[in-house]
């Protein structure tokens, strides 16, 4: 693997495409390989050991394709498996994603933030530690929003049913005083326009795709692995369908 090698991404489905998009906007000369594990979606309620097994499988596939870095474009998989992946492949840079609790706590004026994520993400050590470190003086409300994952995988990101689902989840957070909503699952930014519509100015919506892209850039630069001339090959692998390559 060298600077010309692609960067690998995986998620339980199409959620992580928002991370891929942020990455490609920031680093347009990088080639990419993205695995959407739709055969095993959702990950949200799976035991951690099972997610570790799936994450290892995706990392192995991406490394076999010569990837120089792996971005775990899934909060749930990061929570369950990032330590394991780093221990198993110590020479490979892995970038994870976690709910943006720190920026949310900094931006909140009411002192109340609402975090939307999966059960797996809330159950992880990373989330607990981040809250303890960066949100000591903030009330952090949690909301498991698994229905959003199903809506996004079905492509149902507009319409009355999606709006009602969004309203059911975020109204209680807003009523409890949350003025920042954290999208702690990579599927949720696909519903951001609807979430903002329902919030109607009562809360800001934050998600960390841009921060993940910046961290990936930093790690590549540090290792001299930024691609000077790629950006033409973007492979999409759907474990529930068939692989295709596209620009
Ligand atoms: N997109 C994933 C995340 O960021 C998980 C969604 C799921 O499969 O439950 O947490």
Question: In this structure, what CATH number is given to the domain that contains residue 199?
Answer: 3.40.50.1860
Number of structural domains in the chain: 2
d(CA 113, CA 174): 9
Q: Stretch 170-196: mean pLDDT, rounded?
A: 97
Domain that holds residue 106: 101-206
Instruction: Report which protein residue has its CA nearest ligand 1's atom 9.
Output: 44
Ramachandran quadrant class, 231 (left: phi over 0; alpha: psi -120 to 50; beta: rest): left
Instruction: Label residues 201-225 b or e (16+ Cβ within 10 Å = b).
Output: ebbbbbbbbbbbbebbbebbeeeeb
* Chain segment 111-142, per-residue pLDDT in tens: 999 999 999 999 999 999 999 999 999 999 99
Q: Is the CB of 76 under 6 A from ligand 1?
A: yes
Q: Are residues 93 and 145 in the same domain?
A: no
Q: Are residues 115 and 191 in the same domain?
A: yes
* Chain segment 211-239, per-residue pLDDT in tens: 999 999 999 999 999 999 988 999 999 99
What's the start-to-end Cα distance of the chain, in Å? 22
The answer on pLDDT for 247 being more than 80 is no
228 C-alpha vs ligand 1 centroid, how far in Å? Answer: 32
Q: Are residues 91 and 57 in the same domain?
A: yes
Question: Would residue 67 show up in a list of annotated catalytic residues for this protein?
Answer: no
pTM of the entire predicted model: 0.94
Strand positions, DSSP E, the chain:
7-11, 32-36, 69-72, 94-95, 112-117, 139-144, 180-183, 204-206, 234-238, 244-246
């Amino acid at each position: 693997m060298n600077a010309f090698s692609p960067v690998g991404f995986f998620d339980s489905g199409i959620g992580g495409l928002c991370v891929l998009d942020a990455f490609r906007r920031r680093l347009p000369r990088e080639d990419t390989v993205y695995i959407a594990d739709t055969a095993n979606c959702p990950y949200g309620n799976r035991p951690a050991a099972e997610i570790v097994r799936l994450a290892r499988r995706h990392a192995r596939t991406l490394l076999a394709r010569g990837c120089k870095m792996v971005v775990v474009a899934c909060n749930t998989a990061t929570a369950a498996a990032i330590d394991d992946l780093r221990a198993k492949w110590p020479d490979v840079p892995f970038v994870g994603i976690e709910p943006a609790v720190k920026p949310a706590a900094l931006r909140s004026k009411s002192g109340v933030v609402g975090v939307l994520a999966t059960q797996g993400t809330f159950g992880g050590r990373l989330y607990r530690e981040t809250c303890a470190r960066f949100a000591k003086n903030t009330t952090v409300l949690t909301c498991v929003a698994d229905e959003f994952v199903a809506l996004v995988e079905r492509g149902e990101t507009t319409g009355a049913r999606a709006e009602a689902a969004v309203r059911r989840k975020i109204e209680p957070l807003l009523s409890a005083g949350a003025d920042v909503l954290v999208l702690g699952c990579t599927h949720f930014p696909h519903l951001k326009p609807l979430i903002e519509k329902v919030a109607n100015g009562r809360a800001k919506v934050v998600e960390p795709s841009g921060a993940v892209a910046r961290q990936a850039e930093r790690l590549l630069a540090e290792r001299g692995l930024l691609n000077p001339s790629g950006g033409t090959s973007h492979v999409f692998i759907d474990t529930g369908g068939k692989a295709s390559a596209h620009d």
